[in-house]
Structure 1
Amino acid sequence: MAACLPPTLFSIPELVHSILLHLPVRDLLRVQRVCRLWKETTDHSLALQRKLFFVPVANADQEPECNPLLREVFPPWFPNHYHDSSDIPFSDDFSPGDLCKTLKWYTDEYRRMRVLSPEASWRRMFPVQPPPARIEEIYTEGGCSCFYRIAKGVIREHFQHLQEPGITMGFLWDVGIHVLEEKWEPKTLGLHWHMFPFIPTEESFKDVHFSRWIEELGPVRNVITMDVRWSNDCYPSGACPSGLSVGYFDPDIIKWDFDEDGNPGV
C-alpha cells in the first residue's frame, strides 16, 4: 500500500505521529528502524513514550494496564487475568528451572543473548502503567529438618533512586532473579501486584484460604511485594545459576532483617 502513496506522505511529522499512535507496542519499537524521522518522532513524543511504557502516564489514578509486550515475553511475571482468583491473586510461582522452560526465547541462543543484553529496551520499560512505585517488601520463608526461617527484605534507602520514577522491568527482573538464585534450592517466587483490586468470586468464598488472601493482599496500593518459598536438605549443595541474570547484581541493594548467621537487624 505504501508504494501507491506519494513519496512525501510519510515525511510529514504530524501524520507520522498520528500513524505511530495506532501501532501495537511491538510494532512501534520495530518501525523506529525505518528512518531517522520515525525514530526521532518516537523519541520526542511523550504520548509515544508513554505508549511504549518508557514514561509514566500523566494520570496516575487511571486503571492499571499491564505492558502487553512484557507480558508476552515474560509471561510468568504477570497474572493471567487482572482479576484472577483461581490462586493467590496476581501471583505466579516458578523456580529458575521451570521458568526457563516457559520462556520461548530462552532455548534460542541468539534470541537469549539479545533479550538478556544489559542494553535491551525492555529493561527500561514499566511492567504496568501507571508504574508501580516500589518493591515494598521481599519475604522469604523456608528451611529444612534442622531449622525454619522467615525473613523480610526491603530496598535500602540509598538505593531507592533505582525505583524512581517507578519500577522498571529491568530492576524488577534483577531483584527477582537474584533472590531466586541466592543460597537455597528449590524455590518459588510469587509476585503480588497490589495495584490491581481483588474481585472475589463465588468460588473464592468457598476456599479456606480466602481470608488469608485478603489479609496478605491488603488494600489496593501502587506497590509490588515478592514472596519466596524455599526448602532444602540439611546439607545443601548450593544454588545453581539459572542463566537468567543480565549482569552483576549488588546484593547490598536488599536489606534483610537477619545476617549470615541468622541474627536480626542487618
Structure 2
Amino acid sequence: MEEEASATTRTLHLPEILEQILIHLPSRDLLLAQRISKAFQLTISASPKLQRALFFSPDPACPSSPITYLNPATGATSAHPRPQNNRLLLRAFPGVYPTVSPVLVNLPPTREDLALGRPGKEVWSWDVCISFPASPANKSPSDSSESSLPSTADPATAYPYASWRRMYLCQPPCTALHLVRRWRRSRLPAIERPGGITMGDFVDEATKGAVNGGVWSEGYVGSDRDWHFEGVVGEGTG
C-alpha cells in the first residue's frame, strides 16, 4: 500500500503527467486545483495548455462547436466554429455574464459592389454580448464619480488580485467591444485591446466613468439601467 502511495505521489510530481490529468477537469475544478499543493499550482501556472483552458492565455484555435450557415444564393452550407463562453465568470458575476451568439454581419461594399450599386455581402460571425450595471442601486445612472463592482457580484471578486481579472471574456478573445443602445451599435469601439479583452479590462473601463476620453452619458443607460456592449469574435466567414 505504501509503495502504491509513493508511486502515485511521484507521478503527480511529474509536470508532464500531471498536466495530462488536469486537462480533463472541468474549468472550475482546474482553477481550484491550484490550492491543492505547490506542485499543482506550479504545473497549472507553467502549462500553456492549462492556462488556455482557464482563459488566462489566448487560444485562437480552441475546440468549439460549429454553426451551419446556408448561403441563400448558392444553396451551399458551411460550418464555422463557435467561440467558447467563459463559464467561470458566471459564478463571479452572475448578472454580468458574457454570452456568445451567431450574428449576420454586413461587410463594407467592395469596389465591384459599389460599381454595381449593391451592398457588401452578409457573412456569419460570432458576437459576444455583455452588460454591466451603470451604477449602484442607490445612485443615479449619471453619477460616475466612484468605481464599483456590480451589486450582484460575490464580495470575493473585489480582491484586487482576483483571478477573474486576468480571464478573457471568451476563447478566442474578443478584441473590441462597442456600446449598444436600442439595438444600434456605436461606430467606434468603447473598449479595445489588440491582445484580447479580459474581464479586468472590461470592469475597469465600465466603472471608471470615461472611455477613450469620453464620459459616459446617462442617455446610454438602458431601461434596465445597464450598459450593453457587443463585439465580434474572430473574422466573419461567408
Same fold (TM > 0.5): yes
In the alignment, does 2:166 pair up with 1:120? Answer: no
Quote the RMSD (CA, aligned, Å). Answer: 4.0
Q: Partner of 1:208 in structure 2?
A: none
Contact 2:92–2:157, Cα closer than 8 Å, also in 1: no
Q: CA separation of 1:128/1:63 partners in 2, compared to 1, >3 Å: closer, same or farther?
A: same
Q: Please state how far the C-alpha of 1:138 moved relative to its aligned partner.
A: 3.3
Deviation at 1:182, TM superposition (A): 5.0
How far the C-alpha of 1:36 sits from its partner, in A, is 2.5
**Does the CA contact (< 8 Å) of 1:77 and 1:191 recur in 2?**
no
TM-score when normalising by structure 2: 0.56
Q: Is the 8 A contact 1:139 1:153 kept in 2?
A: no
* Correspondence for 2:19: 17
In the TM superposition, what whole-angstrom CA distance separates every residue of 1:143-172 from its partner, at most 9, and x where no partner exists? xxxxxxx9968569xx96xx1411111111
Corresponding residue SS for 1:96:
coil
Q: Find the counterpart in structure 1 of residue 88 from structure 2.
A: 69
In the TM superposition, 1:187-198 aligns within 5 A as 187-195=225-233
CA contact (8 A) 2:180 2:230 kept: no
Partner AA of 1:125 in structure 2: M
Amino acid in structure 2 at the alignment position of 1:96: S
- Identity, in percent, stands at 27
CA distance in 1, matches of 2:82, 2:49: 17
How far, CA to CA, are the matches of 2:181 and 2:100 in structure 1?
A: 25
Q: Residues 175 and 195 of structure 2 are in contact (CA less than 8 Å); yes or no, is this contact kept in structure 1?
A: yes
CA deviations 1:88-137 (Å, max 9, x no partner) are x946574433684533x2xxxxxx2x4123322111110100000123x3
For 2:152, the aligned partner's letter is T
- In 1, Cα distance between the equivalents of 2:166 and 2:59? 15
Higher helix share: 1
Distance (Å, rounded) in 1 between the aligned partners of 2:47 and 2:16: 11
Name the counterpart of 2:136: 97
Kindly indicate whether the alpha-carbon contact (under 8 Å) linking 2:179 and 2:230 is maintained by their aligned counterparts in 1. no
Paired residues of 1:139 and 1:152 also in contact (CA < 8 A): yes
Matched, 1:138 2:179: yes
Structure 2: runs of 5 or more not aligned: 63-79, 104-127, 138-148
Number of residue pairs matched by the alignment? 171
Which blocks of at least 5 consecutive residues in structure 1 are unaligned? 106-111, 142-149, 197-218, 222-266
Normalising by structure 1, report the TM-score. 0.51
